[in-house]
Amino acid sequence: MAVSVRRTAGIYAYEATLRRGGFGLIAGADEAGRGACAGPLVAGAVILRPGRAGEIPGLADSKLLTPLARERVYERILERALAWSVTSVEADECDALGMHHANLNALRRALARLRPEAEFALTDGFAVPGLGMPSLAVWKGDQVAACVAAASVIAKVTRDRIMADWHQRYPEYAFDIHKGYCTGLHTERLEAHGPSPIHRWCFDNVRVAGRLTLGVIA
């Protein structure tokens, strides 16, 4: 399906255009944590209500919002969305599948869990095969399509909360600060303590730290 939407048309324009094309239930899907070397990959999916009822005050790409603003928008999405879902792929499954396939699986699962079921899916950046519905990959979708932005917020807030919980179990890694991403602080703690059970061995830095601190041949 060909969809033409001006980039300046506003964040709700993709859904409005698709509804005019006959699709009533339009879902957005996005993930959080793909680039992290620890913790789960989390995917969210959201169907917003049509018209003003589905407009979310303050909605934007989760990466452009402060943590406090994300929490506020998250609560508004839960209150106003027609449907939403979230799913996670744990570190060991990321290792088994590889990050790209783990990402695809997470997005498929999140979309499949929506009730009511979506009639059309918008995904951020790249196509997701095997959805069982028409779909469209939108470049920078979390910035230009409202349902994708909402999914990015759901995924990001959920994952941040998961990593804060993991910090309680493994405080030496400071997961509450870097959320498992490959920051300088995380690198320092990883090299000092070696990989934890939630680190992803498919990342080179984790394998190197494992060899150095645990004597593991990876």
Distances in whole angstroms, Cα of residue 217 to Cα of each of 95, 107, 164, 208: 16, 33, 30, 9
Model confidence at 217, in pLDDT bands (50, 70, 90)? Answer: very low
Give the pLDDT confidence of 137-156 residue by residue, as tens digits. Answer: 999 999 999 999 999 999 99
Distance CA 89, CA 40 (A): 5
| Amino acid in the structure at residue 48 | L
Contact 44, 29 (CB under 8 A): yes
pLDDT at 63: 87
Model confidence at 10, in pLDDT bands (50, 70, 90)? Answer: confident
CATH code, residues 13-167: 3.30.420.10
Model confidence at 218, in pLDDT bands (50, 70, 90)? Answer: very low
Strand partners, 31: 43
Q: Which two tokens stand for residue 35?
A: 């680039």
Distances in whole angstroms, Cα of residue 170 to Cα of each of 17, 55, 133, 140, 198: 47, 39, 41, 34, 10
Average pLDDT over residues 38-53: 96
Residue 5 predicted with pLDDT over 70:
no
Give the pLDDT confidence of 69-116 residue by residue, as tens digits. Answer: 999 999 999 999 999 999 999 999 999 999 999 999 999 999 999 999
Residue 6 predicted with pLDDT over 90:
no
Model confidence at 213, in pLDDT bands (50, 70, 90)? Answer: confident
Distance CA 214, CA 80 (A): 49
Residue 4 predicted with pLDDT over 90:
no
Distance CA 120, CA 45 (A): 12
Q: Which two tokens stand for residue 65?
A: 């919002």
Closest CA to 44 of 165, 166, 142, 182: 142
pLDDT at 215: 58
Average pLDDT over residues 176-184: 97
Average pLDDT over residues 39-48: 98
pLDDT at 60: 87
pLDDT at 212: 79
Closest CA to 32 of 40, 24, 22, 21: 40
Give the phi and the psi of residue 174 in degrees, each rounded to 5. Answer: 60, 40
- Compute the mean pLDDT over every residue in the chain, rounded to the nearest whole number: 93
Question: What sign for the dihedral angle of Cα 26, 135, 115, 77?
Answer: negative
